[in-house]
Structure 1
Amino acid sequence: MPKAVWNGATLAESDKCQVVEGNQYFPPDAINKEYFKESNTHSTCPWKGVASYYSIEVDGQLNKDAAWYYPQAKDAAKNIEGYVAFWKGVKVEV
């Protein structure tokens, strides 16, 4: 079962992930919200839409914009709308 880990904490774990462009997208109910902080960062993907970001905080350490999601995905990416993916040193074990 895919699991996202950073700084010794399990950020998300689910057997209902979606894989897009090599990234595991975790369903919104699979993330441990205590570690997630809303970010003002946004980026745009031509086929997925506008991404929003979370910063991750574990034991006082901050990993800025280490997770992203598409709150309103375009039609081609509706299967990952609201799902969360990781980068910036977050290890995703499959």
Structure 2
Amino acid sequence: MKSEPIGLRTFTCLANETTHEVLTVLYAPIEADGAYGCRFTVEGPTINLVEDITIFGQDGFQAIQLALFILRSTLITTSETSNWQWLGQDELGLPTVAT
């Protein structure tokens, strides 16, 4: 699924007592077979984290919302990482509940 990036964000985390940067990219939703897929990528090469995930919703808004929720879950459940931050704050600015 190819589409244009609509957002980039860099997060930081701790792994092995060192701060690491992780780049995330959110892509525009694309309609496919009556649903909308929203893709995101995560690249944290220094912590062996590389993900390319597409999440589907009933429309573009739901696809984006669900993708952001899954992105948050992907980050905070990455093994051997902790203290995820955005702009130096513990709040990542991503949804904590999928609706």
Calculate the TM-score normalised by the size of structure 2: 0.30
Point out the structure with the larger strand share: 1
Bigger relative contact order, structure 1 or 2 (CA pairs below 8 A, ≥6 apart): 1
Point out the structure with the larger helix share: 2
